[in-house]
Structures are given as C-alpha cells and as structure tokens.
Structure 1
Amino acid sequence: MRSFMFILIALFSINAFAQPAYPSEKNLARHIRYLASDKMKGRGTGSEENVKAGKYVAKTFRKLGLTPLGTDGFFQDFTAKVRRVVVPDSLRPARNVIGFLDNGAENTVVIGAHFDHLGMGRQGSSKADKPEGQIHNGADDNASGVAGLLELARYFSQNKEKEAYNFLFIGFGAEELGLQGSRHFVNNPTLALAKINFMSNMDMIGRYDPGRGVGIGGFGTSDKWPEIFKDVKSDIKFFTDRAGSGGSDHGSFYAKQIPVLFFHTGGHDDYHKPGDDYEKINYKGEKGILVLQIQLIEKAMQLPKLQFTEVK
C-alpha cells in the first residue's frame, strides 16, 4: 500500500510539474495590489513611486530569467514632456523596462503594457472635479495591463517550450502623457523593428463585463488575423475592431507598419479618477483574457511572419 501511494504521489507531482505556467488570479491580484496601492501614489511620471513601479517590473523580469534589452540593463531612460497639467509644463525623467526571451528565432513578438498613471492628479488628464492632491491609483489603468504583462512573461518563459519566435516584453513609461515611452522605443529601438512579427498591447483589462466582452483592436492590421482568430474557443466573450491606431502604445507600433493587437475591457465611471482601485478588478475575467491572448499568440506563431496591412 505504501508503495502504491508513493507511485500515485509521484505521478501527481510529475503531472502538476508538466502543466504550463498559466496565468494565476493570485499573481494578478498580488501585482495589482502592489502597483495600485496608496503607497505608490498613482505612479506619476517623474515620481519616486513611478521609479519603484519600473523597478518592480524589472525585478520580475530578472526572476523569470529574461535578458535585459534596455540601454542600461532592463531600463531605457528618456525625458518626458508633461502637458495638460495643473502645474506649469515641465520635463521629467521617465523610462521603459525591457526584457527579452531569446528562443534563437529570427523574429520576435512584442508584448507590452504601460506602468505609469496620473499620480496625484497634477499631470495627465484626470476626470475628477478637483484632481490636484488626490491619489489616482490606476488599478485598471494600467496596473491590470502590467499584471497581464508579467503573467504572460511568466507563462512563455516557464512553459518548457522553445517557441518559433522570440519575445520582447516591454513596460512602457509616460503613456498617459501621450504614448511617449512607446514612441521613444520605436524611434530608438533596442531590437530592430524589421525583426518584430507583431505587437500585443494590454491597457485596461481589469473590468471585464460578460455582457460587453473584451474588445480586441488591430484586427485589420494583418490579413492573417481572421485566420488566426478562426475557431478560437474561450469562456471570455470578445469582439474585434479593425483599427490599429488609437490612444494606447500599440499605436506607436502601428505607425511603424507593424501588425498589432490591443486588449481593452472598456471605459467605466472610475476612468482617470481616484476611484480606480484594486478591489474593483475582475481577476477571474482578466485571467480569462490572458488565456485567450495566449491562444491567439500561439496560433500566430504557427504562421510565417505577419505582413502589415494599413487600415483605411
């Protein structure tokens, strides 16, 4: 009996170890609660808390064994121009955080999300009546996307597969100030843009509503997306949009004629307000969105490098 129990335990352990490192609600909650806590004071560009958020992303990349591909380790520093503010315009230090998963492939898939938000309401475009001095935690916008970025990095780096493409995981800075981090990257790439297959962006994926579903933009940016989306099965309701430009970091890649996907669960009453807190995140829904995204990425990687299509 003891030998039989040992065999059962061994088989269970092997099976559990063999399972892919799928996204975890627990991990998503841990990342979002840290990034969107009051102690992070809204992660405004140029703030000490924004630096901490970038270091958190870099620390996670390092733990996952990703290769630094910034200009200074994982970091790519730049200067952001602050506009639309309740204080005078100014220049502020900002950075992207870049980690590379080398599968020895010719081309690379980019997965991105921005980690900055509106800070204490003195920069960006708060919709609060009296924003100055209020913490804008940005749990959905965009701690949810960063958590997704980190979980996808964990999945693709820990799934024991050598994929047909490399991966470049990027946490973008200064998105709320006009996509400045992603624009800086595409104008100063640390990996040749010609080697990028497509870019997948997550911005506000934390408020999944089963009635609406998750919107996926960029469907028109390659003639292969309809084939890739065909027969995809998911518990998550989704709909597609052809546009490749728009108000998030994928737009910078689209402008360089790179196919994109953009995941977004839509606006809500807390958008760009102090009430965007981690307690309101739909963690189960976000996990489902990431599993859907994994399916699409893995199907896309079965094809040759995608060709760009301009959306008229």
Structure 2
Amino acid sequence: MISVCFTVSVAAQNSRLEKTFYKHDKYLSSDKMQGRFPGTKGNNEAAAYIRKYFQKYGLEKFNGNYYQSFQLFVKEGINKMKSDTVTTQNVVGYIEGSDEKLKKEFIVIGAHYDHWGWGGIASGSKKKDTMAIHNGADDNASGVAALLCILEKVSKSKVKSKRSIIFVSFSGEEEGLLGSKYFVNHLPIPKDAVKVMLNMDMVGRLNAENQIFMGGAGTFPDGVELMKNLAENSGLNPVIHAGGVGGSDHVSFYKSSISAVGFHTGGHPQYHTPEDDIELINFRGGALVSQYIYNALISIANYAQPLVFINRD
C-alpha cells in the first residue's frame, strides 16, 4: 500500500510540474511577447512576468530591486529597428541559506529570457530573409519555465538549503551573453562567495532517449559522480561532460573562475527560426528536467565538502 501511495504521489507531483512548465512556457513564447527582443515591450513584459513570480515565491531583493538594468547596442536590421542603444534588465533575487556559516556562500541558477524578436538580416535568425515573430518556445522560454518550476519547489520546501541560492533570468544572451557578463562584472555579493552556477538553455525538447546533456559537471568536486547518481529513478539518461562548458550564460561564470554547469536537451531544425513554437515542446520532459536540476541544485547547496573551482580547459 505504501509503495502504491508513493507512486501515485510522485505521478501527481510530476503532473503538476508538467502543467506549471506548460503555463510558463506558453505565456513567455506567445505572440504577445513578440520574441522578447531586448529593449522592446515584449522583453519588458517577460521580465515583469518573471519578477511577479520571484516576488510571489518570496525571493529577497538585492539593493531593493529585482531588476539589474544594463544597456546594449542593437545593430540596424534586427527586429525592424534602426541601430540604437537600448535598456534591458536581468531579473535577480535570492533565498538565504539556513546554515550560519554556509549561508554566506551562494549557488546561482539561471536561464536567459530574451530571444530574436522579429529576426532580421543582422540577427542570429536562421531565416534572415523572413520577418516573423521568433517565439523561442525552446530558446529559451523553456529554460525560464524550468527556472520558475524549480523556484516554486524551493520556496515550498519545508527544509531550507544550507547555502544561499540566487535565481537570475538574463537578457541579452543572444547578442553575446551580455546579461550574464554584466551580472558577473556587477555581482551584488563578493565574487568569491559565488560557488557554482547552473544554467538552463533549451530544455524543452527532450528526445525519445530521454537524454539531458550537460557540460561543466566536472568544474566542482565530484560533480560528475553527483550528476550520475541523480540519474537513478529520474526518468532521464544524462549525457555528462566534465568539461565542454558550451556557449550559453554559464560560460560567463566559468571564464571568471566560477564552477558552472550548462543543461540542455539538444538542438533541432527549429532553432533560431519562427517555427520554435509551443506546439513542439515536450512538457512531460520539461517536468523531468526541472525535477532533475532541482535535485542537483539542492544537493550542491547542501554539499558537505568545500566547493572549489576546477579548471577544465
């Protein structure tokens, strides 16, 4: 009876997580957001949506604000815009740890929320001659959906992690990791207090083999072993690389000698095209990925051994 009840409970939790993942991804990748290009109304509305949930689930603010604003230059020919400097923002908040000593250390978990808007000849679109909304349901509404799913689970947990956790959603990733670079260069805490960064970029298209790919698992002690152990009963088949950090926002941390792991579920033909839409998202997979990364986050935030940076270049 206990086994049956446990199985039903897990199934119910996964169903709720799947629905939550779908809700967030659907909103962020809707036409209303118009591709979430930095400096646009859609980008600002996406940031406001993320901020709403940061506040709802009790994240503390740095410097009295969930926003960390910065500027970036937009080339003419992107998103139907003239060349211009625009203002956008990272969305940032934290939960303080429970251990009197370890709470001074921070684990960062993040995902970028910007995308290519309407595309254009100077953009990163794979269809530069097509002016159409690039909704980015996988890239990277899926990563933000996972981030918000994980935040909800952390906030509802009866036991707080020993280390503090920073949640951050970056803008300007597509233009060259600009939001994460700005964050690393303008940290609201001492740099040596940041121990590990977990990043989610394109985690919404889990394949038939249930593979979640990660690079950088070996940039902190026993990271590869941890990720392998977490695979048990996860419903996933992790493809784990000790190095191979990759090309998303976690690279900004790794280049600053901060341990960093990037998670994704693989590429696809709709990458950086107007066809990256909600209908192609694997929500059951998104729930499994969110649960796996949540388990990784909590494990690292409670790590018994010191978290030191391991260079994998």
Q: TM-score, normalised by structure 2?
A: 0.88
Which aligned pairs between 1:177-216 and structure 2 lie closer than 5 A?
Answer: 177-211=175-209, 213-216=211-214
Please name the residue that 1:74 is paired with. 66
User: Shift of the alpha carbon at 1:221?
Assistant: 1.3
Tell me if the contact between 1:182 and 1:249 (Cα under 8 Å) persists in the aligned partners: yes
Given residue 189 of structure 1, which amino acid in structure 2 is its aligned partner? L
Structure 1 residues 97 and 22: alpha-carbon distance in aligned structure 2, compared to 1, 3 A threshold: farther
Tell me if the contact between 2:74 and 2:86 (Cα under 8 Å) persists in the aligned partners: yes
Given residue 30 of structure 2, which amino acid in structure 1 is its aligned partner? S
Given residue 265 of structure 2, which amino acid in structure 1 is its aligned partner? T
Separation in structure 2 between the aligned mates of residue 235 and residue 164 of structure 1, nearest angstrom: 27
Tell me if the contact between 1:23 and 1:155 (Cα under 8 Å) persists in the aligned partners: no
Please name the residue that 1:119 is paired with. 117
Please name the residue that 1:128 is paired with. 127
- Cα deviation 1:279-312 (Å, max 9, x = unaligned): 1100001111111112222332232331111112
User: Shift of the alpha carbon at 1:223?
Assistant: 3.3
Given residue 117 of structure 2, which amino acid in structure 1 is its aligned partner? G
Structure 1 residues 21 and 194: alpha-carbon distance in aligned structure 2, compared to 1, 3 A threshold: farther
Please name the residue that 1:267 is paired with. 267
Q: Which moved more, 1:147-156 or 1:207-216?
A: 207-216
Q: CA RMSD in A?
A: 2.3
Structure 1 residues 180 and 168: alpha-carbon distance in aligned structure 2, compared to 1, 3 A threshold: same
Please name the residue that 1:229 is paired with. 227
Separation in structure 2 between the aligned mates of residue 218 and residue 28 of structure 1, nearest angstrom: 25
- Cα deviation 1:244-298 (Å, max 9, x = unaligned): 5432100000011111111101110100000000111000011111111122223
Which aligned pairs between 1:15-30 and structure 2 lie closer than 5 A?
Answer: 24-30=17-23
- Cα deviation 1:85-140 (Å, max 9, x = unaligned): 546543111110001111241211100000000001136300015233x1000000
Separation in structure 1 between the aligned mates of residue 82 and residue 218 of structure 2, nearest angstrom: 40
Structure 1 residues 129 and 93: alpha-carbon distance in aligned structure 2, compared to 1, 3 A threshold: closer
Separation in structure 2 between the aligned mates of residue 289 and residue 229 of structure 1, nearest angstrom: 12
Which aligned pairs between 1:97-176 and structure 2 lie closer than 5 A?
Answer: 97-104=91-98, 105-122=103-120, 124-132=123-131, 134-176=132-174
Structure 1 residues 195 and 156: alpha-carbon distance in aligned structure 2, compared to 1, 3 A threshold: same
Tell me if the contact between 2:71 and 2:88 (Cα under 8 Å) persists in the aligned partners: yes
Please name the residue that 1:257 is paired with. 257
Instruction: Tell me the SS of whatever aligns to 1:117.
Output: coil
Separation in structure 2 between the aligned mates of residue 65 and residue 118 of structure 1, nearest angstrom: 31
Which aligned pairs between 1:286-297 and structure 2 lie closer than 5 A?
Answer: 286-297=286-297
- Report % sequence identity: 36
The count of aligned residue pairs is 295
Given residue 59 of structure 1, which amino acid in structure 2 is its aligned partner? K
Task: Provide structure 2 residue ranges, at least 5 long, that are not aligned to the other structure.
Answer: none
Task: Provide structure 1 residue ranges, at least 5 long, that are not aligned to the other structure.
Answer: 1-11
Structure 1 residues 23 and 227: alpha-carbon distance in aligned structure 2, compared to 1, 3 A threshold: farther
Instruction: Tell me the SS of whatever aligns to 1:153.
Output: helix
Tell me if the contact between 1:23 and 1:290 (Cα under 8 Å) persists in the aligned partners: no
User: Shift of the alpha carbon at 1:72?
Assistant: 5.7
Separation in structure 2 between the aligned mates of residue 302 and residue 239 of structure 1, nearest angstrom: 22
User: Shift of the alpha carbon at 1:142?
Assistant: 0.3
Please name the residue that 1:4 is paired with. none
Given residue 86 of structure 2, which amino acid in structure 1 is its aligned partner? R
Given residue 58 of structure 1, which amino acid in structure 2 is its aligned partner? R
Q: Which moved more, 1:207-216 or 1:249-258?
A: 207-216
Please name the residue that 2:47 is paired with. 54
Separation in structure 2 between the aligned mates of residue 297 and residue 119 of structure 1, nearest angstrom: 31
Q: TM-score, normalised by structure 1?
A: 0.88
Tell me if the contact between 2:224 and 2:240 (Cα under 8 Å) persists in the aligned partners: no
User: Shift of the alpha carbon at 1:80?
Assistant: 1.1
Q: Which moved more, 1:43-52 or 1:189-198?
A: 189-198
Tell me if the contact between 1:83 and 1:177 (Cα under 8 Å) persists in the aligned partners: no
Given residue 38 of structure 2, which amino acid in structure 1 is its aligned partner? T
